[in-house]
């Protein structure tokens, strides 16, 4: 079936499902494949569950008029998403970076949605499947789509950009993330900069942090850019007033008190404020958009529990984000400080060095206690408390109560350190 014809079908049934456990009435089911599953085998179940059509790529499963056979289901999903993106009138903002992508995306959406009809990537559906699914949520009245793009190797952002074809773009930062796939910090910079390359090659608008030396240098000769800065008056001026614990910001003589902790979230707010300014949103609406955003999903959340103030930042971690989280804890005004740090994943052959660096950094900050959890941290040479597994930590906390402390909890997603909340 040609994409044009499939798109007409999609306009009639504009809900896409890829999981038979989440089938909704009159959706179109795409039978995707993974290492341990074959979605084709669930096509009939999807239709029985209420799907109007199932897209399959193996002939033996195209058993009735409600199954549509294509050469490759995933490629068809991606082509449909690109076709729909160009069919719609929505402007697309592409967003990538090593740290802060999801929080920045949510902040941008919170600001822009005060004035425009927007859609944004749900959660972190930001890969070769998630980006198409996000684009396919663009509705007829959508004016701006904020699309998050993640990557763990080179050429991935280039590919996702070819699907999303963003009109605008922003890179949060370049950090030590996914070093296993990118190979080095230079590889990260090259990989993330593929968004810049797409935008420049297509004469599109770029938003950027003018105080970031790498971004400034890469965009120095490009005309269609709109930047923010704390120090350079040639760009939109935004100032960090405080971050103890919540980030306070001043711009256009207006003070914003956010519900975000950590000075590192200042830059994320700057991106949203700058885009609001560019899209002619009033200062009062920008303020409302930033101040109304409440972090969730284990990202920079403040939780009060049993006399403790807990900074829950356990959604993910890499050396760059770990460092700024530790810096934030160090700078907070608190009598007793404790850090729970979990292993950082996808670091490849740099894992040993990077975990040792973080162990050393944490120890140098003289917190009351630093707990290091996981196999990588257990191989470090340190005077911090080490627990190879979460079960070992659990046993310790059963017999050692923590009270009246400010606590940081941070680790990679696979460590699931939010479980510590139940132990405090």
CATH assignment at residue 167? 3.40.1190.10
Contact 151, 160 (CB under 8 A): yes
Q: If we measure between CA atoms, which residue out of 225, 218, 223, 175 comes closest to residue 197?
A: 218
140 plus 159 within the same structural domain: yes
219 plus 365 within the same structural domain: no
52 plus 121 within the same structural domain: no
Residue ending a domain, choose from 268, 291, 314? 291
d(CA 329, CA 350): 25
DSSP string, 346-375: S-GGGHHHHHHHHHHHHHHTT-SEEEEESH
Q: Is residue 143 part of a domain?
A: yes
In tens, the pLDDT along 119-165 reads 999 877 899 999 999 999 999 999 999 999 998 888 999 999 999 99
CATH assignment at residue 63? 3.40.1390.10
Q: How many domains does the chain have?
A: 3
Residue ending a domain, choose from 232, 258, 291? 291
100 plus 236 within the same structural domain: yes
Per cent of the chain over pLDDT 70 is: 100
And the tokens for 267? Answer: 């830059």
Task: List the chain residues with pLDDT less than 50.
Answer: none
And the tokens for 345? Answer: 């994943």
Report the relative pairing of strands 308-313 and 301-305 from DSSP bridges.
antiparallel
Q: Which domain holds residue 380?
A: 301-423
Q: What share of the chain is helix, strand, coil (3-state, %, to 5)?
A: 40, 20, 35
Long-range contacts, 181-190 (Cβ 8 Å, 24+): 181/151, 181/152, 181/153, 181/346, 181/348, 182/152, 182/153, 182/154, 183/348, 187/154, 188/98, 189/214, 190/154
140 plus 238 within the same structural domain: yes
Model pLDDT, residue 178: 74
Q: Is residue 399 part of a domain?
A: yes
312 plus 397 within the same structural domain: yes
Q: Is residue 82 part of a domain?
A: no
Q: Is residue 10 part of a domain?
A: yes
Model pLDDT, residue 123: 79
Model pLDDT, residue 189: 87
Tell me the pLDDT of the chain averaged across its residues.
93
Q: Is residue 391 part of a domain?
A: yes
124 plus 182 within the same structural domain: yes
And the tokens for 392? Answer: 């070992």
62 plus 120 within the same structural domain: no
Q: Is residue 296 part of a domain?
A: no
Q: Is residue 385 part of a domain?
A: yes
206 plus 243 within the same structural domain: yes
And the tokens for 304? Answer: 């009060």
d(CA 286, CA 253): 13
d(CA 408, CA 342): 11
Q: Is residue 79 part of a domain?
A: no
Q: Tokens 């680790």 identify what position?
A: 411
Q: pTM here?
A: 0.89
Residue ending a domain, choose from 291, 321, 341? 291
169 plus 117 within the same structural domain: yes
């Amino acid at each position: 079936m040609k994409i044009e014809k499939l798109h007409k079908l999609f306009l009639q049934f504009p809900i896409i499902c890829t999981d038979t456990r989440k089938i909704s009435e009159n959706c179109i089911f795409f039978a995707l494949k993974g290492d341990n599953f074959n979605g084709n085998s669930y096509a009939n179940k999807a239709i029985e569950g209420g799907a109007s059509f199932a897209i399959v790529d193996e002939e033996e499963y195209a058993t009735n008029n409600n199954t549509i056979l294509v050469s490759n289901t995933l490629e068809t999903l991606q082509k449909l998403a690109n076709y729909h993106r160009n069919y719609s009138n929505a402007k697309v903002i592409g967003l990538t970076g090593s740290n802060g992508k999801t929080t920045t995306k949510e902040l941008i959406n919170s600001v822009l949605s005060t004035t425009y009809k927007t859609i944004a990537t749900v959660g972190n559906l930001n890969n070769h499947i998630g980006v198409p699914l996000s684009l396919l949520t663009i509705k007829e009245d959508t004016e701006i789509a904020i699309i998050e793009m993640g990557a763990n190797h080179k050429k991935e952002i280039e590919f996702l950009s070819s699907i999303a074809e963003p009109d605008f773009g922003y890179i949060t930062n370049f950090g030590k993330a996914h070093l296993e796939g990118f190979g080095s910090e230079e590889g990260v910079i090259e990989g993330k900069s593929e968004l810049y390359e797409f935008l420049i090659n297509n004469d599109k608008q770029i938003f950027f942090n003018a105080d970031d030396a790498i971004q400034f240098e890469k965009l120095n000769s490009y005309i269609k850019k709109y930047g923010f800065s704390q120090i350079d008056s040639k760009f939109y001026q935004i100032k960090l007033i405080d971050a103890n614990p919540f980030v306070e910001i001043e711009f256009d003589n207006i003070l914003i008190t956010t519900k975000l902790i950590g000075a590192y979230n200042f830059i994320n707010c700057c991106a949203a404020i700058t885009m609001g300014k560019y899209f002619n949103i009033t200062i009062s609406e920008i303020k409302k958009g930033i101040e109304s955003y409440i972090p969730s999903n284990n990202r920079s959340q403040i939780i009060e529990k049993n006399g403790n103030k807990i900074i829950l930042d356990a959604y993910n971690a890499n050396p760059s984000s770990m460092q700024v989280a530790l810096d934030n804890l160090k700078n907070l005004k608190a009598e007793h400080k404790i850090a729970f740090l979990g292993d950082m994943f996808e670091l490849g052959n740099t894992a040993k060095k990077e975990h040792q660096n973080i162990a050393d950094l944490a120890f140098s900050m003289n917190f009351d206690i630093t707990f290091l959890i996981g196999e990588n941290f257990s191989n470090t040479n340190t005077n911090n408390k080490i627990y190879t597994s979460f079960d070992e930590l659990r046993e310790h906390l059963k017999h050692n109560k923590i009270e009246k402390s400010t606590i940081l909890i941070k680790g990679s997603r696979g460590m699931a350190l939010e479980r510590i909340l139940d132990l405090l």
